[in-house]
Chains A and B, each alone.
Chain A
Amino acid sequence: DGGITQSPKYLFRKEGQNVTLSCEQNLNHDAMYWYRQDPGQGLRLIYYSQIVNDFQKGDIAEGYSVSREKKESFPLTVTSAQKNPTAFYLCASSTYDRGVQNIQYFGAGTRLSVL
């Protein structure tokens, strides 16, 4: 059963705590992405990675960190420096091949709330 798996579905963060959101894909995609979605704001890109061991900041990277040690995995850490982390977080993946269309496939999301 191919696809993208995000876990957990719901996550609660205490003040000053770092939390890590998991994203795993078995689609053999090179590129992976993290988005944040707030009500009425659409999707905003946090980080993306087009190849293992390399990643780039998106539009709202401050207070977040990522790693890409394996092709299948792209975990996102929400650090204590992110003062307003309450949001719906979406992970996606796509092929990455110049000249080829890049449809993105999304996970079901993680809803993060602050206690």
Chain B
Amino acid sequence: SQQGEEDPQALSIQEGENATMNCSYKTSINNLQWYRQNSGRGLVHLILIRSNEREKHSGRLRVTLDTSKKSSSLLITASRAADTASYFCATNIQGGANSKLTFGKGITLSVRP
């Protein structure tokens, strides 16, 4: 498996429900980031959590990080149809080139109106 692996690969929920997406990684990190990609477009940064942080919030987004389990979760509360997109976790590895990120394969989220 690669450095960042998201779970599940695909998620379909009803509008208004919460969406939880998970990411696991293998080596120690400086930080972990979540990005969003609408179909056929570039990625957009959502949130960054440092290795010494456990939880961060941004609007309807909540990210947690458990470095002992090498895992992170992204929670989107009160989902909207406009949240339909692919979501990627990316890790900045400790000891690696400072600016390099390693991306997972992504989670496809579908929010039904």
B41: chain A residues within 8 A (beta carbon):
108-109
In the assembled complex, A16 has its CB within 8 A of some CB on chain B: no
A102 to B68: give the CA distance in the assembly, Å: 23
The A-contacting residues of B in range 93-111, CB under 8 angstroms, are 97-106
Assess whether B104 is in contact with A105, with CB atoms less than 8 Å apart: no
A97: chain B residues within 8 A (beta carbon):
98
B42: chain A residues within 8 A (beta carbon):
4, 6, 90, 92, 106-109
Assess whether B104 is in contact with A50, with CB atoms less than 8 Å apart: no
What sequence of 0s and 1s flags, for each residue 37-73 of chain A, a beta carbon within 8 Å of any chain B beta carbon? 0001111010010100000100000000000000000
B35: chain A residues within 8 A (beta carbon):
104
A45 to B92: give the CA distance in the assembly, Å: 13
Assess whether A42 is in contact with B88, with CB atoms less than 8 Å apart: yes
The count of residues in chain B whose C-beta lies closer than 8 Å to any C-beta of chain A is 24
Most B-side CB within 10 Å, residue of A35, A48, A104, A108: A104
Inter-chain residue pair count (beta carbon < 8 A): 61
**A48-B45 CB under 8 A given contacts A43-B88, A102-B92:** no
A98 to B43: give the CA distance in the assembly, Å: 23
A104 to B50: give the CA distance in the assembly, Å: 15
Assess whether B45 is in contact with A104, with CB atoms less than 8 Å apart: yes
In the complex, 19 of the A-B residue pairs with CB atoms within 8 angstroms, ordered by the A residue number, are: A4-B42, A31-B99, A40-B105, A41-B105, A42-B104, A43-B103, A45-B102, A48-B100, A50-B99, A88-B40, A94-B99, A96-B99, A98-B98, A101-B92, A104-B45, A104-B101, A106-B43, A109-B40, A111-B40
